[in-house]
Structure 1
Amino acid sequence: MSDPQGPGIPPGYGHPAPPPPPGAPGPSYPAAPGWGPGPGWSAPRPGVIPLAPLGLGDIFNGAFTTLGRHWRQLFGLALAAYAVAALAVVAVAGLAYLAVAGDIDRLVHWSHDRAPGVDEFLPPLIALVVVYLFGSLVLLIANAVVQAGCPAVLQDAVLGRPTTIGTVWRRVRRRLTSVLGAVLLTGLIVFVPVVLIIGTFTATLLITVITFHDGDATAAFAVLGLAVLALLVAGPLATWLWVKYSFAPAVAVFERSSALTAMSRSSRLVKGSWWRVFGISMLGYLAASVAAYLLQLPFSLAGGLFNQAPQQGADAPEVVAFVVIALVFGLGGQLLGQLLTSAFPQLVISLLYVDQRIRRENLAPTLMAAAAPAAPPAPQPPAPTGT
């Protein structure tokens, strides 16, 4: 099956339109004579959003509609990504345990006559760090799959076209390297200043404790005040950088760009609309968190009931069965919440990207042309017959 974003889509949908010549009029939309659109006019809506500049309601309605129409593709892809990540982490953790099982056994059964030394502590510690780093990398890849899957689904959802999980996966697979690079580079750019500030804050906190111990309270308060000020600077800086590059995964998928090109393009699209992108993105994360909490609540209550069900004197198999059922409910609720909190905000951010291109690059007519059904071929005149 061919990718629907193939030759049938005008190039402006997948790639940035060329800049208009100097003095050219800005984007235009159908309007009735006079001051603006007449009361009966509405923007065409072939898919989940109207093909015009989007308001907050249009963006959220489009994200919820996409979830409703394409939940199999979105949740199926996310579930597969997180399941593979979990299995990989469990496998590596099992191998790590087998490698240091003897050291762990010596730590557990160490004698009071001789405390364990560095030789006993070091192998399990190294194994734990390796598992943690591997788990972080695998989770990053799983998140990149979800962040690539949302714009991959929206390519068809915006145009009102059906899609399949196979089509979405092919798009994700082709663009996963670029999306992963953009996510990794953005994370480094955002979190390196924060890590440096936190390190500075920790160091100054230690200096403050030492200074207090020496009796110099004035110097201690001064050092602590500088550390708090640095921390207050790091938070807004990290937030500004995150919003600046938040469109990068969508750009990498929609425009088939490399990681660095996607980040540069995201910066240009966000410029001048930072507060709007920030506010709507935060509302998307907040709405997803609230919905995930409400979704997890019945699972948590059911799990709690099963967890408290075993009575005193119950057989061991019954206790194990109730505990397993409680864990299944708890993990099921957590998984559904994770799927929602990972997919919905990315749909909101991807729709914000489409909105910025509609506003700045007049993308709406291109989308209208792409969504229009293909005209049937004109009938050919009958071939002349010989005499």
Structure 2
Amino acid sequence: MSDTSGWGPQPGPYGWHPNPWGPPPPPPPKPGVIPLAPLGVDHVLGGTFATMRRYAKPLFGTAGAAYALLAAVMTAALLLAYAATRDHFHALYEPGATFSWEHGRPLLLAFGAVWATGLLASLAVNSFIQAACAATLHEAVLGRPAPFRAVWRRAWSRTPAVTGVTLLLALILLLPLAAFTLLFVSFFVTVLTDSTAPFGLVFLLFLLVLPLAAWLYVLFAFAPAAAVLESAGPLTALRRSARLVRGAWWRTFGISLLAGVIVAIVSLAFRLPLQFAAPQPPEVTPDTDTSELLFDQLRSQFGLYALLGLVGTLLTQLLATLFLPLVTALLYIDRRIRKEGLAHTLTAATQQPAPPSAHR
């Protein structure tokens, strides 16, 4: 895959301005999935769908392999936790057993370690997929091939930087997240004590903090793309994102929100038919045999309907995981074109021969 060092900050403005005293200018070049000019909403969304269609192998291949690796890690962690606490597990769940910390503490520690492993592994996998989206888009914009191996190698090398961006952004959003958590805690306190004062105060705080969280999230939305396409470190990527979003916050927010709505509509379009086709729960009567009831419930949970639901959930999750980072990365490129004249650099790059790695 080609070096991304040429995607660093570029001097000078850029735009496609018609000449009022002469013939209309030629259309901007379009070597890949987008024209090399300031992008409209149709170009951003169309370029995203075109990238997913033309570069399905590197995108869906890397994402599928990453999720398969995540599933293997979680399965191994669960098996190890069960093997280490098997005796304690059976001691708690054998007939007539009562809870005791002698057996409960090892179970909590073991499966708490599984939860922490899953959290860290999910963070790494999601960061890797974001890096793979940006690495694939780098070649898609130039109209070059993006081999699976090259995308994997480039994404893997930038995964630590994207992970650092994600962790820093989580720290920045810690106050809004704390307010959101406090809102739920106060809701349960309100339900248990029949007092509305704590919930009302926290809800007001949440309404005040929510716009701040949205503003910060959009302000640093371009940081993962900058970490990959400019080979920037986490702090540098966050600063780059803030500079690029400045002056276009509402546009970035609106198009990102539209992309989220598209993903939600696609998800609902698949889930609603399954909801109507869901099997009816077995009818329970005083004479119903318990084993027969459990068998019917298992059959409904693990039958064809459950398989279709699982496949649909995985596909919609995969779509959201790829679609949203691609939209954000294209918005990043659009801002670079508008503010820094990146289109000139991209046009020059298309006139150079592709590196040997792009043909493998």
- TM-score of the aligned structures, taking structure 2 as reference length: 0.84
1:265 paired residue number: 240
- Which protein has the larger Cα radius of gyration, Structure 1 or Structure 2? 1
> For residue 130 of structure 1, what is the aligned residue in structure 2?
113
Match of residue 205 from structure 2: 230
SS at match of 1:158: helix
The residue that corresponds to 1:380 in the other structure is none
- Provide, for residues 297-351 of structure 1, a one-character-per-residue CA deviation record: whole Å limited to 9, x for no partner: 77x489958x99xxxx9xx9xx979946554433222221111010011110000
Deviation at 1:92, TM superposition (A): 0.2
Aligned mate of 1:355, from 317, 334, 337: 334
Q: Give, in whole Å, the separation in 2 of the partners of 1:322 and 1:27.
A: 57
Aligned residue for 1:163? 146
1:63 is aligned to 2:38: no
Distance 1:92 1:221, change over 3 A: closer
Is the alpha carbon distance of 1:332 and 1:119 closer, same or farther for their aligned partners in structure 2, counting shifts above 3 Å? same
What CA distance in whole angstroms lies between the structure 1 residues aligned with 2:323 and 2:252? 15
Please list, as runs of the form range in 1=range in 2, the aligned pairs for 1:59-138 lying within 5 A after superposition: 59-109=44-94, 111=96, 115-138=98-121
Distance 2:122 2:316 in 1: 16
Residue in structure 2 matched with residue 377 of structure 1 by the alignment: none
> For 1:197, which of 150, 154, 179 is the aligned residue?
179
Give the 3-state SS of the residue equivalent to 2:115 in structure 1: helix
Separation (CA, whole Å) in 2 of partners of 1:183 and 1:103: 37
Other-structure match for 1:341: 320
Distance 1:109 1:125, change over 3 A: same
Fraction of identical pairs, as percent: 38
Helix, strand or coil at the partner of 2:82:
helix
**Could you tell me which residue of structure 2 aligns to residue 367 of structure 1?**
346
- Supply the RMSD in Å over aligned alpha carbons: 3.2
Pick closer, same or farther for the CA change 1:320–1:226 going to 2, 3 Å: closer
Which structure 1 segments of 5+ residues have no match? Answer: 21-25, 213-219, 375-387
User: What amino acid maps onto 1:169 in structure 2?
Assistant: W
Identify which of 240, 260, 264 aligns with 1:285: 260
Q: Counterpart of 1:32 in structure 2: which amino acid?
A: N
State yes or no: 1:142 paired with 2:121: no
Summarize the Cα distance change of 1:167–1:193 in structure 2 as closer, same or farther, 3 Å threshold: same
Residues 15 and 37, structure 2, Cα contact 8 Å, conserved in 1:
no
Report the count of equivalent residues: 342
Please give the alpha-carbon distance, in whole angstroms, between the structure 2 residues aligned to 1:183 and 1:208.
34
1:252 matched to 2:227? The reply is yes
Distance, in Å, in 2 between the alignment partners of 1:338 and 1:210 is: 36
2: CA distance, partners of 1:98 / 1:361: 57
**Any gaps of 5 or more consecutive residues in structure 2?**
283-291, 354-360
Q: Match for 1:241: what amino acid? A: L
Q: 2:88–2:103: 8 Å Cα contact kept in structure 1? A: yes
